[in-house]
Amino acid sequence: MASVRSNKNIELMTYSEVTDVSGYVGSFKVSVKQKPRYVDITKCTGCGTCQEKCPMKTDNAFDAGLGKRKAIYTPFPQAVPNVPVIDPAVCTFFLKGKCRACEKFCEAKAIDFNQKEKIAELEVGNIIITTGFDSFDPSVMVQFGYGQYDNVITGVQFERMSNASGPTDGKIMLKDGSPPQSVAILHCIGSRDKNYHQYCSRVCCMYSLKFAHLLREKVPEATVYQLYIDMRCAGSGYEEFYERIQEEGVNFIRGKAGEITDMAEAPEEQGKLMVIVEDTLVRRKRRLPVDMVVLSTALEPRADAESVAKTFSLSRKADGFFLEKHPKLDPVATTTDGVFIAGCCQGPKDIPDTVAQASAAAARVLSMISKGSVQIESATAVVDEELCSGCRICNDLCSYNAITFDEEKKVSHINEALCKGCGTCVAACPSGAITGRHFTTEQIMSEIEGVLV
Amino acid sequence: MSFEPKIVGILCNWCSYAGADLAGTSRKKYAPNVRIVRVMCSGRVEPGFILKAFQKGADGVLVCG
Ligand SMILES: Cc1cc2nc3c(=O)[nH]c(=O)nc-3n(C[C@H](O)[C@H](O)[C@H](O)COP(=O)(O)OP(=O)(O)OC[C@H]3O[C@@H](n4cnc5c(N)ncnc54)[C@H](O)[C@@H]3O)c2cc1C
Ligand code: SF4
Ligand code: SF4
């Protein structure tokens, strides 16, 4: 990200959202809403004084509720740009009109409470969408007690906990600060489950193995269980990693946990979280006493996927992720020419696959830029100016706004870059002036005759 | 002999034609007496197409889109 920001050919717009897109491949017009961060990005030195002095605290969403942040904050230390933002929902100046501590202590005079939302209008030739995924919220699966038991956490929370610059400085710990003696990692939470998501989230087997490895490294005395339906370790070096974790002494149990409870049935179960599971390899129900449970939750479409799809004229698959033009032959293009997708917004995948797709999308765009022209579909409609009576019936019928009226010649004109070749205008023209290339009336009539032979 | 109707299916490229294609790649069968003509949109269908099909002996015409 830092090198993206410093590249002079790339304009990085953070804290911004695309609100409107019009036009077509080679000539899109994009409106971008830039939210006010109340800090002047050109003056701020990133010293962090404001964050120290700010009196208001709240949960840091980036730490998945494990850590706190101030009202003026950078979500994590490596954030690009290293310029904080003021959260008006927490800042006392916005709430009560008093404080301005950050402004007082900022030596660079970078705080600017008068910043307003701005709309930037951009002209671009192509668009690549990489909006990623949301993590499944496991609190709906009440049998696992997420939100009820302190030490039932999600994969994202474990990830933040094991991060050296995270809320616990990289220490794996229970709510009370002590290290866990035993940890169960539960696979497929919300994935491969007809009640939630039928698909396999593809990355959780591997990140669960990574968690086991991190636990072995950071808390070597802890017992670690992996509860899986089956292990899916397809990828370069992945099966080898699985074997290595088995050799590191992690316990693998084939079974999906049915319940997590703190109700002890025996003295040794006191104070423990009991994971109840059918071990399908030994055909026995087991009760595993553990201190911490990690739920490896599904990757799901982002909550705003529908509105993003509308803005960029994308379609979505039955599972809610964005639809590619062809699952095998054109996996990064979409049915809208010039709009590409990459990464988890298209479906769950790991970082190597995300990078491969993103590189492919970038290459597709670069090839168009270097050619200087774009190739469009040949199956478009064309108006015969001699036959057009100028009735304008077609003008409002086109769903793609491809038809304009030439006031001078008094005839309709079709923009081939916008035309999708649907042929609605062809069927509607009372003068028979429009031809649908590759789908002419003669061709279709002959086909109908042909299928009835 | 039982009656086997001849049906002409005029299908939209993006939905129903793609569906027929998917049936093929998923190794699913659909009735072979539906004979398919692909159009880029059901909006392309002119009344003449339907009359032509009946004139040439179709028992039914299915327009999907
Ligand atoms: C717990 C966990 C552990 C994992 N561990 C690994 C691992 O060890 N190795 C591995 O290879 N993979 C791992 N993965 C998978 C990895 O996270 C994904 O492959 C990767 O994040 C996908 O990248 P992405 O860019 O597609 O999406 P994301 O990382 O989700 O990034 C999308 C970005 O787009 C932004 N965005 C979304 N909507 C908009 C919008 N409308 N406007 C502007 N910006 C927007 C988001 O804020 C976000 O910054 C793990 C996943 C999880 C859940
Ligand atoms: S806003 Fe001011 S105090 Fe805060 S990090 Fe930037 S320069 Fe430092
Ligand atoms: S990757 Fe593994 S844990 Fe994740 S859904 Fe698929 S099988 Fe379950």
What confidence tier does A337 reach under pLDDT thresholds 50, 70, 90?
Answer: confident
Listed residues A267, A299, A331: the one ending a domain: A299
pLDDT mean over A336-356 = 96
In a domain, A230, yes or no: yes
Distance CA A330, CA A340 (A): 10
pLDDT mean over A388-395 = 96
pLDDT score, position A84: 97
What confidence tier does A233 reach under pLDDT thresholds 50, 70, 90?
Answer: very high
Q: Are residues A160 and A91 in the same domain?
A: no
Q: Quick check: A259 pLDDT over 80?
A: yes
Distances (CA, A) of A262 to A143, A222, A272, A291, A390: 12, 19, 6, 10, 78
In a domain, A331, yes or no: no
For residue A301, the ligand closest to its alpha carbon is 1
pLDDT score, position B21: 87
pLDDT score, position A374: 83
Q: Are residues A152 and A288 in the same domain?
A: yes
pLDDT score, position A445: 97
Q: Are residues A148 and A117 in the same domain?
A: no
Look up the ipTM and state it.
0.95
Opening angle at CA A283, ends A278 and A285, nearest 5: 35
**What CATH number does residue A396 fall under?**
3.30.70.20
In a domain, A421, yes or no: yes
In a domain, A61, yes or no: yes
pLDDT score, position A24: 87
Which residues contact residue A29 at a Cβ distance below 8 angstroms, ignoring those fewer than 6 apart?
A: A21, A22, A23, A121, A122, A123
Atom of ligand 1 nearest to the CA of A348: 19
Distance CA B14, CA A408 (A): 36
Q: Token pair for residue A194?
A: 């007809």
In a domain, A355, yes or no: no
Q: Are residues A118 and A138 in the same domain?
A: no
Q: Are residues A148 and A60 in the same domain?
A: no
Listed residues A80, A99, A127: the one ending a domain: A127
Q: Are residues A141 and A61 in the same domain?
A: no
Q: Do B41 and A422 touch (CB under 8 A)?
A: yes
Distance CA A378, CA A337 (A): 13
Q: Ligand 2, from A43, A45, A52, A85: best to mutate by most atoms within 8 Å of Cβ?
A: A45
Q: How many helices (H) and strands (E) does chain A have?
A: 12, 23
How many independent structural domains does chain A possess?
Answer: 3
Which residues 369-398 in chain A show a CB within 8 A of chain B?
A: 379, 397
Distances (CA, A) of A86 to A46, A101, A214: 14, 12, 35
Q: Do A423 and B14 touch (CB under 8 A)?
A: no
Q: Are B30 and B24 in contact (CB under 8 A)?
A: no
Distance of CA A224 to the CA centre of its chain: 30
pLDDT tens-place string over residues B2-25? 889 999 999 999 889 988 988 888
Q: Quick check: A373 pLDDT over 90?
A: no
* Cβ-based neighbour number of residue A6 at 10 Å: 10
Q: Are residues A6 and A117 in the same domain?
A: yes
Q: Which domain holds residue B25?
A: 7-64
Nearest to B40 among A335, A439, A448 (CB): A439
Which residues contact residue A436 at a Cβ distance below 8 angstroms, ignoring those fewer than 6 apart?
A: A379, A381, A421, A423, A426, B40, B44
CB of A363 within 8 Å of a chain B CB? The answer is: no
Q: Quick check: B1 pLDDT over 80?
A: no
Q: Quick check: A141 pLDDT over 90?
A: yes
In a domain, A336, yes or no: no
In a domain, A314, yes or no: no
How many independent structural domains does chain B possess?
Answer: 1
Q: Are residues A225 and A293 in the same domain?
A: yes
Listed residues A127, A150, A185: the one ending a domain: A127
Give residue A50's region: left, alpha or beta (phi > 0; psi -120 to 50). Answer: alpha
HSE of A399, CA atoms in CB hemisphere, 13 A? 10
Q: Quick check: A174 pLDDT over 80?
A: yes
Q: Which domain holds residue A7?
A: 2-127
In three state form, how does the secondary structure of A191-254 look? CCCCCCCCCCCCCHHHHHHHHHHHHHHHCCCCEEEEEECCCCCCCCCHHHHHHHHHHCCCEEEE
How many A-B residue pairs are in contact by the CB < 8 A criterion? 56
In a domain, B2, yes or no: no
- The alpha-helical segments, DSSP class H, found in A312-386 are 351-371
**What CATH number does residue A288 fall under?**
3.50.50.60
Q: Are residues A113 and A146 in the same domain?
A: no
Q: Ligand 2, from A37, A100, A104, A106: best to mutate by most atoms within 8 Å of Cβ?
A: A106
In a domain, A148, yes or no: yes
Distances (CA, A) of B1 to A181, A320, B7: 77, 48, 18
For residue A1, the ligand closest to its alpha carbon is 1
Minimal CA–CA distance to B7: which of B61, B56, B57?
Answer: B61
Q: Are residues A104 and A138 in the same domain?
A: no
pLDDT tens-place string over residues A290-334? 999 999 999 999 999 999 999 998 999 999 999 999 889 999 999
Q: Are residues A119 and A142 in the same domain?
A: no
Q: Are residues A105 and A156 in the same domain?
A: no
Q: Token pair for residue A154?
A: 């999600």
- Looking at residue A272, the DSSP 8-state letter turns out to be S
pLDDT score, position A218: 97
pLDDT tens-place string over residues A405-442? 999 999 999 999 889 899 999 999 999 999 999 999 99
CB of A448 within 8 Å of a chain B CB? The answer is: yes
pLDDT tens-place string over residues A153-166? 999 999 999 999 99
Which residues contact ligand 3 via a Cβ below 6 A?
A 187-188, 191-192, 200-202, 204-205, 229, 232, 296
In a domain, B1, yes or no: no
